[in-house]
Structure 1
C-alpha cells in the first residue's frame, strides 16, 4: 500500500539571502529594492506551497500551522496463476482473478517553526481512514459467483519530524540548496500489529496471509536525509530533490518471517512553478520512488525470501491562491503513471502563519 502520499519534494527556500547581503533581480545585475525582494519571496512561497512539503524555510520566530486533507484512490486487477503449461496455449492448474479498490483518507496537522533565517523544523501528525474492497474469482472452478471481502482501518498514522537548513545564498546564478533530514516514527498501527489469518484454496492449501483490518502505519522507524534545489527564474521557479530513505529492520517473530528488513527507498523529483500574478500560482512536477526488495530472515512459503523492487511514479499539478497576508489555500492533484502508484490523489492545504 502506498501511503498517500505519496514521496516528498523539497523545492523552495527564502529568496532573501542572509542579513546584510543585497538581493538582485532575475538578471542578477541590478540590486532589487526590499519591497521587490519581499514580493518575489512571497511568490516563491506560494508556488512552493502548492505541492506537499516543498521545504519552505520559515522566517525566524514565525510559527506556521498547516491543516491538510487528502484522498487517494487505487484500483487494480491482478491475475495469479498457479499451475504448469502442457503446451504454450494450455494451462493446467488454478487461475485467480482479483480486483482491488482502495481509498485512503488522511487528515494531517503540521506545525512548522523558523529558528533562524536558514533553519526550520516541523512535526506532522496524520490521522488515516483506509477502506479496501476485494472481489475475486477462481476461473477454473466453474462458478459465476464472485467472492467479496471488505476491510477497513482507522487511527493515528506515522508521526514525522523534519529539519531543514539552507546551505547557500543562491548568488551568482547558483540555485538555492537546502539540506533535509526527516524521521518517521512507527506511531501508526503497522501490518504486523493487526490480526492476520491464513488464506487457503479449495483444497486447504495455504496461499497467502490476509489482514483482518487495514494498517494505518508502516510499523518501522525510517530516516531520510536528502537535498532539495530551487532556481528562481522570474516569473517561474524550477525545483528538484533527491533523498534516500533508510528503514530499520525489526524482529516480527517466526510466524511473520522472523527479522524483517524493509527495502530502502530512493526518491527524486523535479518540476516547475509559475506565478500568474501576486495571488495565484501554478505548479507542475513529477515524483518517483524506487523501493528496494524486502527481505525476511526465514524462507517461509507464505512470505518468500524477497519481494521484487517496486517503482512508484506520479505526475502532480496544482493551484495556490493567497487569501491574505498570512494564509494561502492550495489544491494538488497527483496522477499515478506506474502500476503501483495510486490512480489519483487529491490534497487540500491551508497553511496559516502566526
Structure 2
C-alpha cells in the first residue's frame, strides 16, 4: 500500500468502529480521588459540564557522543587520518497549560499550550588544530512558545464488568513553534571540527494530526491501561530548507509516527496512586524537496524513542490533584531522563 494512503485507511477505520460498539456503553469508574486521577491521566475521565485547568512543568535531559574517523588503517592496526570526538548535551524545560471541557459524559475537547526553554552544549576536540584540546559552544533559545495543540477525546465504550473503557483520541498540532528547517549551521572559528546551530527549534515546523485508541480497565486492586496512535505530518511548503546560505524554498514531508504504550496503576488508598508504564514512538525519515528538484531523504532523521515511566498522584481535595512522573529513556533517541509535575484543577 502506498505510504500516503496508510493514515487515511487508519483514520477511516477508527471513525467507523465507534458506531458499531456505541450500544455497549457500560458504567463509569469509581469516583475515589486516586482512581479518578488515574482516569484523568489516561484521558478517560468524562464529567459533564466540567472544566479542567492543568498547569505543568517538564524537564528533560539528554546527551549523545559521536566518534568520527576519516582515514584508513595501515598495517592492519595503525589509523592514519583525522579523528573527531564530539558530544552534545541538551536541557529542555517545558511550561505547559492545558485546558479541557466535557460537554457530555463521553465527549471532551481541549487545548495544550507549551512554552519551551532550551539549552544545548556542543563539544568537540580539535581546538587550535590539536587533537589534545577541546572546545565547546552553548546555544539557547531564551524561551519561546511551542506547537499549540487542539484535543478531542470521545469515549464510545464505557467500562463494564468484563470489558474496558475505550476512548478515541484526536489531536491537531499547529506549527506555532520555531521550525527546525532553515536554521543556519555555524562553525566555531577556533575549532573547525565544531559545528552548531544558530538557534534551537521549539516545534516541528508542520501541521500534524494524531489519532488513536486508548483503553483502561479496573481490576482491583490494579488498573490496566494502554494506547496506540498514528501521527500524520502534512506536507508543507516553507521559505527556506537550507542550513547554509543561500536560502532555498521547498517542501517538507516530516516522517509519520507510530506510537504505543501500556502500563498498570495501583490505588494505594482513596487519595494516592502509583503508575508504572512503557511507551514507544517510531518515526519515519523526513524528506525535503527544493523547488524544482526531487525529494531527498534526511539521513538519520528516523527515530525510535522508548521509555519506562514511573508516576505518582495525590488527590489534595475533590478538585485538585498533584501528579508527578519520571521517565527513563531506553533507546538513543529518547531523553536520558524526564521528570514532570502537573496540578490538574477541576471546576
TM-score (norm 2): 0.82
Can you list the C-alpha shifts for 1:320-354, whole angstroms capped at 9, x where unaligned? 11100101101111111111111111100000001
What is the RMSD of the two structures over their aligned residues, measured on CA atoms? 3.0
Aligned twin of 2:268:
276
1:44 counterpart = 2:30:
no
Contact 1:57/1:114 (8 A) holds in 2: no
1:107 counterpart = 2:100:
no
Q: Secondary structure at the match of 1:324?
A: coil
Could you tell me which runs of 5 or more consecutive residues in structure 2 were left unpaired when the two chains were aligned: 1-21
Q: What is the correspondence of 1:178-217 to structure 2 with a 5 Å cutoff?
A: 178-192=167-181, 195-199=183-187, 210-217=196-203
Q: 1:273 to 1:38 in 2, by over 3 A?
A: closer
1:255 counterpart = 2:246:
no
1:167 to 153, 156, 159: 156
In the TM superposition, what is the alpha-carbon distance from 1:216 to its structure 2 partner?
Answer: 1.4
Task: Provide the C-alpha distance between the structure 2 equivalents of 1:225 and 1:23, rounded to a whole number of angstroms.
Answer: 25
Can you list the C-alpha shifts for 1:116-169, whole angstroms capped at 9, x where unaligned? 100001101111000111111149954422111000012111101110001112
Can you list the C-alpha shifts for 1:24-56, whole angstroms capped at 9, x where unaligned? 9xxxxxxxxxxxx6435x44322245xxx5213
Aligned twin of 2:321:
328
Q: 1:125 to 1:202 in 2, by over 3 A?
A: closer
Aligned twin of 1:312:
305
Task: Provide the C-alpha distance between the structure 2 equivalents of 1:186 and 1:88, rounded to a whole number of angstroms.
Answer: 51
Contact 2:34/2:313 (8 A) holds in 1: no
Task: Provide the C-alpha distance between the structure 1 equivalents of 2:123 and 2:195, rounded to a whole number of angstroms.
Answer: 16
Q: What is the correspondence of 1:1-354 to structure 2 with a 5 Å cutoff?
A: 23=27, 38-39=30-31, 42-49=33-40, 54-86=42-74, 88-138=76-126, 141-153=129-141, 154-192=143-181, 195-199=183-187, 210-252=196-238, 253=240, 255=242, 258-297=250-289, 305-308=297-300, 309-354=302-347
- Size of the aligned set, in residue pairs, is 315
Task: Provide the C-alpha distance between the structure 2 equivalents of 1:64 and 1:313, rounded to a whole number of angstroms.
Answer: 29
Contact 1:95/1:140 (8 A) holds in 2: no
- Larger RCO, structure (CA 8 Å, separation 6 or more): 1
Task: Provide the C-alpha distance between the structure 2 equivalents of 1:102 and 1:23, rounded to a whole number of angstroms.
Answer: 45
> Which 10-residue stretch deviates more, 280-289 or 243-252?
243-252
Q: 1:323 to 1:249 in 2, by over 3 A?
A: same
Could you tell me which runs of 5 or more consecutive residues in structure 1 were left unpaired when the two chains were aligned: 1-17, 25-36
Contact 2:135/2:191 (8 A) holds in 1: no
